Amino acid sequence: MTSTPSSASPHSQRVALVTGGSGGIGKAVVQRLAADGYALGIHFASNRSAADALVREVTDAGGQAIAVSGDVGDEADMIRAFDAVTHSLGGIDVVVNTAGIMLLSPIATLDLADLDRMHHTNIRGTFVVNQLAANRVRRGGAIINFSTSVTRTQFPAYGAYVASKAAVESLTLVLARELQGADITVNAVAPGPTATPLFLDGKDEATVAKLASAVPLGRLGEPEDIAETVAFLAGPGRWVNGQVIFANGGLA
C-alpha cells in the first residue's frame, strides 16, 4: 500500500533529494518515493553507473529523476547538487540523507584515519546536507537523517561509528526545534540489522544468523522495510517531528 504525499505542500509534484541514493537503503528509498509520485534527485558519491541505472528505472516507469554527484562533506559539491535538483525538478520538498560509511574496530585499536573518514561523511556530511536543506526545503517538507539502532544496543567494535551516529541524532533534534514556524519536519531513522552490502560486508554466516535471531521478528530487515518508514515521514507523518524512529523489528 502506498502513502499519499502530504497535502501541506502547495506544489503539484513533490521533489525529493536522496543522498547515497544509488544503492542499499538509499536505492529502496528512491524506489519507494518514486512509487508515491515524487520526482527524485538521486545523489551518488562514486557509483555513477548505479545512479544512472536507477534514473532509467524511474523514468522508464513514467517518473522524473536526475542523478547528482558529490562528496556530502564538501559544501561546494552539495550546493551544486541542490542547485541541480532545484533547477531541473523545480524545487525540493524532502531531503533524505542516507549517505554514510561504517568502519568497525575496537576503540582501543581503531585507526584514527578511519575515525576522521567517518566524521567527514557521517557528521560533517549530515551537517552540510542539513544546513542546505534548512534553507532550501519548501514549506510542508521534511528532512530525514539516518542513525543506527546500535546507538542503543552497544555492539562491540561499533564505537566510532555509533559516536558519529549519536551526533546525527543530536543534530536532528536540535534542527527540528530551530525550524519552528517553517513547517518542515526533521526526524532520523535508526535501522537495525538490515541486509545491505554495507551491513553484510565482512560478516560470516554465523554472525549474520546471530544478529537476525536477536530480532523478535526473526530476520534481518530489508531495505524496503526502512523505505516504508521514510515514506511515512516524508509524506503523511506530519505530526512526527524531532524524533528518532527505531526501524529494527523490535531489536532491544
Q: At residue 73, does pLDDT exceed 80?
A: yes
CATH of 15-247, one of 3.30.70.141, 3.30.365.10, 3.40.50.300, 3.40.50.720: 3.40.50.720
Residue 9 near residue 237, CB atoms below 8 Å: no
Residue 49 near residue 71, CB atoms below 8 Å: no
The per-residue pLDDT for 1 is 38
Who wins on pLDDT, 66 or 9?
66
The string of pLDDT tens digits covering residues 230-248 is 999 999 999 999 999 999 9
Mean pLDDT of all residues in 214-235: 94
Residue 117 near residue 103, CB atoms below 8 Å: yes
Backbone phi, psi, residue 105, to 5°: -170, 145
Find the farthest-apart pair of alpha carbons in the chain and give their distance in angstroms, rounded.
Answer: 53
| Dihedral of the alpha carbons of 156, 158, 164, 167, in degrees to the nearest 10 | -40
Residue of 44, 82, 161, 246 marked active site: 161
Catalytic residue at 161?
yes
What are the extents of the domains in the chain? 15-247
Q: Residue 57 and residue 62: Cα distance in Å, rounded?
A: 9
The per-residue pLDDT for 230 is 98
The per-residue pLDDT for 88 is 98
